[in-house]
Amino acid sequence: MDPRRYRTVAEPTVARVEDRRSVFECWLRRADDEAAARAVVEEARATYWDARHHCSAFVLGPDRSVTRSSDDGEPAGTAGMPMLEVLLGSGLSDVVAVVTRWFGGTLLGTGGLVRAYSQAVREAVAAAPVRVRELRRRVRLQVGHAEAGRVEHELRALGVHVADVGYGAEVDLDLAVPVGREGELRATLARLSGGRAEPVWGEEVWVDVDPPA
């Protein structure tokens, strides 16, 4: 796994499965921290107040080091952990899954519960659009108006994220260059500006980039 890139969900996704009249609805959402993940659980609990269980699992961080799961009253090991295993197997991070269950009147047994909760998350993961996050270094750059368009075009072709453009006496570019490609940026700027454009290097940040093809 590239420590400078990871995948997350691009937008909220819902999937629903049924087993012997019990309904399992999965909310799959992006969550940038533990508080955001727990807020999704509470939102599901408030939205579907009539449901018996709101089981959850989440994986957080670029290195996927934060993991949590909850059976929320289901028999131990039948809901939260199977859900978490699906998330871990998906390769996604900064993601939370909440499966709300409405009891259909027939006991499913431990095996049935594991299958239903896993399947609800698996279907949500399969349906979810994916967004890649990449570690970038912030860069501030000033260039003349005459060369700004060409510079911006070539920087985008290099894979540099142009976060903002400001216009004054000169054009101010707020950039995010992939970590490890700073040398390419220096060489490109030297070629385009004859050495006049001097980048000001900033902190490393995680940036949403285009999803994989």
pLDDT at residue 152, as a whole number: 83
Categorize the per-residue pLDDT at 1 as very low, low, confident or very high, splitting at 50, 70 and 90.
low
Q: Answer yes or no: is pLDDT of 195 > 90.
A: no
pLDDT at residue 4, as a whole number: 85
Residue-wise pLDDT tens digits, 55-72? 999 999 999 999 999 999
Identify the weakest region by mean pLDDT among 14-23, 49-58, 136-145. Answer: 136-145
HSE-CB at 32 with a 13 A cutoff on CA atoms is 5
Of the residues 128, 161, 177, the one at which a domain ends: 128
Rounded Cα–Cα distance for residues 124 and 25 (Å) = 9
Of the residues 109, 128, 147, the one at which a domain ends: 128
Of the residues 128, 152, 171, the one at which a domain ends: 128
Categorize the per-residue pLDDT at 213 as very low, low, confident or very high, splitting at 50, 70 and 90.
very low
Query: For residue 190, what are the domain limits?
Result: 132-209
Same structural domain for residues 83 and 149? no
Give the domain CATH number at 117.
3.30.230.30
Same structural domain for residues 113 and 149? no
Q: Identify whether the C-beta of residue 175 lies closer than 8 Å to the C-beta of residue 160.
A: yes
pLDDT at residue 151, as a whole number: 83
Radius of gyration of the chain (CA): 23
Q: Which residue has the higher pLDDT, 166 or 42?
A: 42
